[in-house]
Amino acid sequence: HVRWELINAATPLLLNCAPRSVDTRASKLPTGSMEKGLILPLISGPSRSSVSSASGISWRRAIALACTIVWISTGLSSWERYASRSTRADRRSFPDLYDASIHELQTGLDAGDFTSVHLVQVCREFKSFMRFRKAKHSPPPGLLCAHRRSQSHAARRDRDEPVCAATGCGTGRGKTAERKEGLDAWDPGPAQGVSGGASHVVHVAYLAGWIQDNIATVATEGDCLRDRNEAMLKMLLPEDAGVVKRLRRAGAIILGKSNMCEFAHARGYLASGWSGRGGQATSAYFPNGSPGGSSGGSGIATSIGLATVSLGTETDGSITYPSSMNNIVGVKPTVGLTSRAGVIPISLHQDTVGPMTRSVADAAILLGSIAGIDPNDNFTLAQPSPLPDYIQALDQHGIPGKRIGVPRSFVNSSLAAKYPVIMSQFQDALHVMQTLGAQVVDPANVPTAEEILSLPEMERSQPAVVEFKVTLNEYYSSLISNPSGVRSMAELIEFNDAHPELEKPEGYEGQELLIRANHTDGYDSDYYAARSKNYRLGYGIDTVLKELKLDALVLPHFVAPVSATPAMAGYPIVTVPLGFFPESSGTEPMGAGTIFPAPGMPFGLTFFGTAYSEFTLIQLAYAFEQETRVRRLGPRGYSSAVPKTQLDDIVQRARGNPACLH
């Protein structure tokens, strides 16, 4: 099929480029071609007169030249051969990357509509898109470096498991076909629930995504930086992070690194999305909108299709908030469900690595791929065995009978009055869950809520601050090399002070949290008392779940501290899109150069529960997502923030006639 703009722009060239053996007279069109759908898409486009005036040719000539384009670009000698493949060439076989799911991409790969190399080439197009935005002095998107070997990895995937049936290079059978069959077992289609699935589906071939920049990849991947700080430029680590190893074993292609708040927001009180190396990343939903943090780059990249999926890390809110603010799904796993080995640390008892995706289904797949025991992270040794198959939770009909509590005492009345749209959407969400068969218990207050809300932030965060110094110094000692010479938190602070042009530009000077952490004295009695208190307060979640026989708790973002209590206990969170601020909303500054809220910016809904309750949380989130489809039906990012390149652009370019194009 041929785009109208291609006909209008390319006709003069094609008149000179078309082989003489091709008869372009309309009378020579193949019999029945209209019925076969080869020309019908043209008729639904612009008027005949507009085509004629734009190209200087007749309508019949335009149709004939459209056929010529098909012959030239495919090299086919027969319309029948083209017709057999035409369904692979239309937009239905090339999912819109803005919303493309793992299943859609896997299906296209297995059908041979495109290859892993094509997917990575799209990524390279996005690099050009980023350079363009920087040249125009626009805040960059959330991606900062691409692994130079990602394309060679993709080519190896295509060689090892050939599936490109459309280009005649293989049959599409083998491991990927088996995985596709598993995926088909749970594919919900456009509006249906699912039941069943297969545990082996977590080994998803060709999964391509970005990972947050504090997650280690080996030096051979290319010059990707670490945690966005100049003091960690070109440092070398001995091996991939634990979650990266699992992704590679699952067949994933790591495209590169995403921007993030320096040291996962633990450097100082700085605007979300800023780092010394990456600059200030901003939301795709409103110019200069805050992307949230610390995993803001992963949130941005996933929200607009710069990645199929991303990984983020959370100590307290760093997956949850950017997922909410970028209209995506975020899973903050129980501490110990996923490995933190090879991740720049803050808190042993709170750090975790989790999925950031556009759908709950993709989050379940990705979580299944990265969860599991890692001998390099002893917290993973406490996880239950066997772990559940999270894909089995993707059942829209799994919610009836579930009891969901609303801990109203956490809702800030001032913020609720300030943002009535959030509370209105939240009430609608509760009604949706009741309609689906859930029992909503409202209120269902956490007994320790009052004590948590009255606890000063300095006191609540003190255990993590102590752990930050100890664990970061240990991380530095594990490096093979670090060209900056920095080997401790104290030296890091000195480096930042000595290089203000790199690390302390105007509006981003703060490193209060680093200084505070550096003044701590390690694991003393005060530390253990504070950590014990935090656990006690966080375990209030278990108390209310047990007393009221609840399966989970639910709260909206921005009017309640949704991440704090689960962070204290190390418990899981699943965030899904809930709604958007109306066009009549005002804007408010949120750190240097960013704003939140703003018209059209998203906000999310959070389900949380006890340790290792991810399966239940995914069930609830999936049912809500499938019923409401907030992301799919809501507004998209503003035009200049969203890349325009699509898979079919890359595939058609690859199929084109090089001699003609030159």
Q: How far apart are alpha carbons 182 and 192 in whole angstroms?
A: 17
Q: Which of 21-25, 201-205, 255-259, 516-520 has the lowest average pLDDT?
A: 201-205
Summarize the chain as % helix, strand, coil (round to 5). Answer: 45, 10, 40
Question: Per the structure block, which two tokens stand in for 167?
Answer: 């280009």
Q: Which residues contact 656 (CB under 8 A, 6 or more apart)?
A: 72, 73
Q: What's the CA gap between 147 and 575, in Å, rounded?
A: 29
**What's the whole-number average pLDDT of the chain?**
76
Q: Is the pLDDT at 598 greater than 50, yes or no? A: yes
Cβ atoms of 649 and 149 within 8 Å: the answer is: no
- Select the more confidently predicted residue: 51 or 617: 617
3-state secondary structure 144-186: EEECCCHHHHHHHHHHHCCCCHHHCCCCCCCHHHHHHHHHHHH
The neighbouring-strand residues paired with 343 are 215
pLDDT tens readout for residues 148-180: 555 666 666 666 654 333 333 333 333 444 444
Sign of the C-alpha dihedral, residues 438, 444, 448, 451?
positive
**Could you tell me how far CA 154 lies from the centroid of its own chain?**
20
The b/e string for 627-650 (b: 16+ C-beta within 10 A; e otherwise) is: bbebbeebebbeeebbbebbbbbb
pLDDT value at residue 236: 75
H runs (alpha helix) in 351-407: 360-370
Among 438, 460, 446, which residue's Cα sits nearest to residue 411? 446
Name the pLDDT band for 41 (thresholds 50, 70, 90).
very low
**Residue written as tokens 């993030």?**
260
Q: What's the confidence (pLDDT) of residue 1?
A: 36
pLDDT tens readout for residues 97-126 = 999 999 998 888 888 888 888 888 876 666
| Residue 557 CA neighbour count, 13 Å, CB half | 29
Amino acid 157: pLDDT: 63
Lowest mean pLDDT among 231-235, 541-545, 621-625, 652-656: 231-235
**pLDDT digit string, tens, across residues 374-407:** 999 999 999 999 999 999 999 988 899 999 999 9
Rounded-to-integer distance, Cα 148 and Cα 256, Å: 8
Classify strands 279-280 and 309-314 as parallel, antiparallel or unpaired.
unpaired
Counting runs of H as helices and runs of E as strands, what totals does the chain give? 27, 13
How far apart CA 366 and CA 39 sit, in angstroms, is: 41
User: What does the block give as tokens for 242?
Assistant: 């634990």
What token pair was written down for 285? 């939903």
The answer to whether the CB of 151 falls within 8 A of the CB of 192 is no
Could you tell me which residues are beta bridge partners of residue 574? 331, 607
Contacts of 37 (CB under 8 A, 6+ apart): 86
CB 331, CB 572: distance < 8 Å: yes
